[in-house]
């Protein structure tokens, strides 16, 4: 399956991937509304996370592991592996906010929703024709979406 | 090939998914004593608290079993395994033949010897039936005493309290959560429960359950002489491996069912996984029973693949718990209470009682081997990485971990690239 691969040698830590992610997962599909309104009023959050260490940086998100720790840890069945697409899929309705996945995922790819007892996790922009928005928006090709 | 799985919990879900990674066609039969499809056992406290409905309990969508080609025999108890004839005998009078068998029978509640325990009014809290009984009782119940201040006991107490029941918790140890957490974390959780209105009694347990002439419970006499009036007692001291089926047919058992690195028991066609199995521990390397949700799934998954012909060793379980008490999240991973006299262990702890926040990191010979987080849990996974992957912790890394700033850029370069950018070096 195709996955998003981050390259820390190219990443400049601009956080544009986060904004693209935010917009892609917003109702308005508009960056300004997503950032100024949906983010504050509804807790809309990006699935990306940018790490920095000195001059180094990298933007990571769910790796859609073959054998994901989050799925093993999920007590409610909200996280599971879709055998057809290979994606690690999340059903918010089933999530009870126990944070087991957040603890179990050693890639730091799961975060708490700021307002609800739910998690936020990359869905590879499911249904978005151009593929993951973060990859499309990255100005330095530090993110690629490909089969490896 | 016919795979038969005894037990219908998370280990069996793991096994089904493991088998289907290897073998798309072999027949799979799951035999479960309970009458419902596999549900998230920890969810029973959410159900008892009224936070979720019965329709939210299933671990997999309805079509999962059909799509996975799994036949379910629910409400069916296995009475006996005959490893020579490769058959299991059920309480429905059936003999089910298998090629490979998985024993995933989990744990059963441990019941202490307390005078007066026998009789009505005493309940466990480990399965859906128990939860449903307590839900119906809660409507009329005024008070309840929960015996056991571990994770199950505390969640039972919290959920009953949410239903308007006056609840007391008894814990024999000097503090609650003595197994999974350290003193500071337990203190924060304890305070949160007491602030909510739950009575927590530590260092005591039930000496005797007193009943009236009709047999109904009047109350509990404690070891310190106190008498607690109650009509209901919930026993939540823990679970012990439910391994009788294995033991009775000559399969090797110790504390649990003994398995090798591929989750195979002493019988080559029989595997075991979950709370019933005594399997490898990631940190110590020895085999032990670690009844942890994640381990049960992983063991089931590993067993499933190996039942279907793979030869993959189980990487080993890592004890981990994530649980919230009235909105205060707590986590514990790996070794959290190191032996005090051992100079190879170092502990770095930060406690902020006002913010109800606590972080404890346990290092052993230059590696992070465990942690506790209360309140601010958002970096948990990044700490787990250091424990799970046994990553080296040099000076700068240690400083970052201790100050609450773990991250992937602290990983060794080569490991980082293999993980995040495979196939490019």
Q: Quick one: tokens of B187?
A: 């203190």
SS (H, E, C) B294-319: HHHHHHHHHHHHHHCCCCCCCCCECC
Residue numbers in B near A72 (CB within 8 A): 14, 294, 297-298, 301
Q: What is the pLDDT of residues A51-106, one digit of tens each?
A: 999 999 999 999 999 999 999 999 999 999 998 999 999 999 999 999 999 999 99
Do B146 and B292 share a structural domain? no
Q: Which residues contact A55 (CB under 8 A, 6 or more apart)?
A: none
Q: Do the beta carbons of residue B322 and residue B180 sit within 8 Å? A: no
For residues B93-119, one letter each, b for 16 or more C-beta atoms within 10 angstroms of the residue's C-beta and e for the rest, the string is eeebebebbbbbbbbbbeeeebebbee
Is B58 in the A-facing interface, judged by CB distances under 8 Å? yes
Q: Do B58 and A77 touch (CB under 8 A)?
A: yes
**Angstrom distance (rounded) from CA B403 to CA A37:** 33
Do B143 and B95 share a structural domain? no
Q: Quick one: tokens of B321?
A: 């718990």
Q: Do the beta carbons of residue A144 and residue A5 sit within 8 Å? A: yes
Q: What is the pLDDT of residue A80?
A: 95
Chain A interface disruption, residue of B322, B379, B383, B400, most A CBs within 10 A: B322
Do B154 and B76 share a structural domain? no
Range(s) within chain A of domains with CATH label 3.30.70.20? 1-61+123-148, 64-121
Q: Do B294 and A60 touch (CB under 8 A)?
A: no
Is A145 in the B-facing interface, judged by CB distances under 8 Å? no
Q: Quick one: tokens of B261?
A: 């690195």
Do B344 and B246 share a structural domain? no
Do B292 and B332 share a structural domain? no
Provide the CATH topology of domain A64-121.
Alpha-Beta Plaits (3.30.70)
Q: Do B46 and A96 touch (CB under 8 A)?
A: yes
Residue appearing with tokens 């070096």:
B425
Neighbours of B151 (CB within 10 A): 22
Q: What is the pLDDT of residue B179?
A: 85
- What pTM value is reported for the model? 0.95
Phi/psi-derived region of residue A86, left when phi > 0, alpha when psi is between -120 and 50, beta in every other case: left
Q: Which residues contact A43 (CB under 8 A, 6 or more apart)?
A: A113, A114, A115, A116
CA distances from B305 to B288, B292, B309, B419 (A): 21, 20, 7, 23
Is B284 in the A-facing interface, judged by CB distances under 8 Å? no
Closest Cβ–Cβ partner in B46, B384, B407 for A103: B384
Weakly modelled stretches of chain B, pLDDT under 50: none
DSSP track, B108-168: EE-----TT-SSTTEEE-SSHHHHHHHHHHHTT--EEEEE--SHHHHHHHHHHHHTT-EEE
Read off the CATH number of the domain in which B360 is found: 3.30.390.30
Query: What is the distance in angstroms between the Cα of A79 and the nearest Cα belonging to chain B?
Result: 9
Q: What is the pLDDT of residue B425?
A: 58
Answer yes or no: is B232 within a domain.
Answer: yes
Overall domain count for chain B: 3
**Angstrom distance (rounded) from CA B138 to CA B230:** 13
Q: Which CATH class is domain A1-61+123-148?
A: alpha beta
Do B253 and B269 share a structural domain? yes
Measuring CA to CA, which residue among B260, B329, B46, B6 is closest to residue A96? B46
Q: Which of B175, B205, B237 is the last residue of a domain?
A: B237
Residue numbers in B near A106 (CB within 8 A): 381-382, 384-385, 388-389
Closest Cβ–Cβ partner in A75, A77, A103 for B380: A103
Q: What is the pLDDT of residues B128-141, one digit of tens each?
A: 999 999 999 999 99
Query: What is the distance in angstroms between the Cα of B388 and the nearest Cα belonging to chain A?
Result: 8
Q: What is the pLDDT of residues A11-33, one digit of tens each?
A: 999 999 999 999 999 999 999 99
Q: Which of B307, B335, B365 is the last residue of a domain?
A: B307
Structural domain that includes position B214? 122-237
Q: What is the pLDDT of residues B259-268, one digit of tens each?
A: 999 999 999 9
Residue B213 burial (C-beta neighbours within 10 Å; 0-12, 13-18, 19+): exposed
Residue B353 burial (C-beta neighbours within 10 Å; 0-12, 13-18, 19+): exposed
Answer yes or no: is B312 within a domain.
Answer: no
């Amino acid at each position: 399956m195709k996955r998003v691969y981050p390259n820390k040698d190219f990443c400049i830590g601009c956080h544009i991937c986060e904004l693209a992610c935010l917009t892609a997962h917003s109702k308005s599909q508009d960056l300004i509304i997503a950032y100024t309104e949906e983010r504050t009023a509804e807790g809309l959050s990006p699935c990306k996370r940018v790490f920095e260490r000195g001059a180094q940086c990298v933007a990571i998100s769910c790796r859609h592991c073959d054998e994901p720790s989050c799925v093993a840890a999920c007590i409610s069945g909200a996280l599971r592996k879709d055998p057809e697409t290979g994606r690690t899929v999340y059903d918010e309705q089933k999530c009870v906010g126990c944070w087991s996945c957040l603890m179990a995922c050693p890639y730091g790819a799961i975060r708490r929703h700021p307002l609800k007892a739910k998690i936020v996790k990359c869905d590879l922009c499911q249904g978005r024709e151009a593929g993951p928005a973060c990859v499309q928006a990255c100005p330095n090709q530090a993110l690629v979406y490909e089969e490896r | 090939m016919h795979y038969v799985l005894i037990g219908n919990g998370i280990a069996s879900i793991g096994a089904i998914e493991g088998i289907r990674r290897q073998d798309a066609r072999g027949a799979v039969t799951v035999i479960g004593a309970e009458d419902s499809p596999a549900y998230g056992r920890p969810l029973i406290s959410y159900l008892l608290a009224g936070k979720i409905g019965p329709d939210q309990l299933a671990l997999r969508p309805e079509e999962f079993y059909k799509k996975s080609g799994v036949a379910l025999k629910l409400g069916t108890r296995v009475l006996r395994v005959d490893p020579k004839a490769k058959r299991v005998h059920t309480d429905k009078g059936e003999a089910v033949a298998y090629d490979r068998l998985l024993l995933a029978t989990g744990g059963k509640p441990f019941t202490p010897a307390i005078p007066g325990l026998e009789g009505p009014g005493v309940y466990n809290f480990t399965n859906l039936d128990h939860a449903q009984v307590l839900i119906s009782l809660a409507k009329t119940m005024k008070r309840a005493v929960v015996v056991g201040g571990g994770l199950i006991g505390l969640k039972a107490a919290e959920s009953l309290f949410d239903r308007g029941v006056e609840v007391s918790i008894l814990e024999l140890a000097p503090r609650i959560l003595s197994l999974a957490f350290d003193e500071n974390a337990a203190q924060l959780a304890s305070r949160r429960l007491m602030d909510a209105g739950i009575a927590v009694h530590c260092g005591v347990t039930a000496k005797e359950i007193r009943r009236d002439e009709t047999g109904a419970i009047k109350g509990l006499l404690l070891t310190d002489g106190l008498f607690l009036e109650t009509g209901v007692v919930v026993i939540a001291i823990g679970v012990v491996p439910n391994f009788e089926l294995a033991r009775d047919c000559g399969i090797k058992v110790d504390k649990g069912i003994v398995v090798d690195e591929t989750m195979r028991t002493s019988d080559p066609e029989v595997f075991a996984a979950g709370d019933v199995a005594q399997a490898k521990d990631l940190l110590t390397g020895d085999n032990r029973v670690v009844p942890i949700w994640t381990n049960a799934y992983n063991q089931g998954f590993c067993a499933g693949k190996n039942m279907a012909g793979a030869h993959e060793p189980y990487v080993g379980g890592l004890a981990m718990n994530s649980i919230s008490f009235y909105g205060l999240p707590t986590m514990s991973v790996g070794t959290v209470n190191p032996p005090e006299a051992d100079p190879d262990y170092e502990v770095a702890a930060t406690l902020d009682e006002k913010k109800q926040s606590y972080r404890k990191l346990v290092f052993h010979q230059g590696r992070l081997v465990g942690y506790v987080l209360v309140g601010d849990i958002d970096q948990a996974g990044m700490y787990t990485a250091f424990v799970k992957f046994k990553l080296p912790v040099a000076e700068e890394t240690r400083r970052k971990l201790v100050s609450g700033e773990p991250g992937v850029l602290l990983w060794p370069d080569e490991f980082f690239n293999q993980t995040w950018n495979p196939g490019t070096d």
